[in-house]
Amino acid sequence: MDTKDFLKSAKRQFEYYKDLAEKTFEQLEEEKLFYKYNEESNSIAIIVQHLWGNMMSRWTDFLTSDGEKEWRKRDAEFEEVIKTKDELLKRWQEGWECLFKALDSLKEEDFLKTVYIRNQGHSVMEAINRQLAHYPYHIGQIVFLGKMIADKNWKSLSIPRNKSGDYNADKFSQPKHNEHFTGEYLKKKD
């Protein structure tokens, strides 16, 4: 896989996970975004606050400064800072815009560079993969909380329960082909 293919695949996966969280936000009333199971757990709003802080730190000046910026206040990301759904969505979009702007600016020769996170060197591909593991981890938490909160009103974001056979029958009725796993999902979004 060359760097263009890798970057295209990574961006599609980021878009996929971003969309999963957004479909979760849509299913919840505003006050539910602030629900915490207990004092040690995080609300969806706190998780978004953390993702925003991480994205702004990691992707601002991605190639030229350490990914853990001096101005980042990571501990504060786990405090109840966001107060409204509008504020949550604003930070959410700001973080993703920072990420996609950084990815869109990359050139093939940039993949030969080393970037640092807390003074630890990463290839550009490793740094992207690091965040591609981190963000879905937290988005999984968002989806889990959303499903738990919505309960019987939850609309599945993947193959609905007890529909795997139908889904697989449809897939195996088609000829073999190459398609990114997010292709079908993101087409439905448009």
Q: What are phi and psi of 141, to 5 degrees?
A: -65, -40
Q: What is the C-alpha separation between 110 and 61, in angstroms, rounded?
A: 13
**Per-residue pLDDT tens over the stretch 17-31:** 999 999 999 999 999
3-189 has which CATH code? Answer: 1.20.120.450
Contact 146, 27 (CB under 8 A): yes
Q: Do 14 and 99 meet the contact criterion of CB atoms below 8 Å apart? A: yes
Question: Binning pLDDT at 50, 70 and 90, where does residue 177 land?
Answer: confident
| 65 close to 57: Cβ distance less than 8 angstroms | no
CB atoms within 10 A of CB 162: 7
Q: Distance between CA atoms of 80 and 35, rounded to whole angstroms?
A: 11
Structural domain spans, the chain: 3-189
Contact 4, 106 (CB under 8 A): no
- How is 137-165 classified by DSSP, letter by letter? HHHHHHHHHHHHHHGGGPPPSSSPTT-HH
SS3 117: strand
According to DSSP, residue 120 is labeled E
pTM of the model: 0.91
pLDDT single digits (tens) 145-156: 999 999 999 999
Closest CA to 42 of 51, 72, 67: 51
Q: Which helix (H) or strand (E) holds 135?
A: helix 124-150
- The residue-averaged pLDDT of 86-93 equals 98
Mean pLDDT calculated for residue range 157-164: 86
pLDDT of residue 174: 86
Measure the CA–CA gap between 135 and 112, rounded to whole angstroms.
Answer: 24
| Residue carrying the six token digits 């082909």 | 177
Low-confidence winner among 18-22, 39-43, 90-94, 176-180 (lowest mean pLDDT) = 176-180
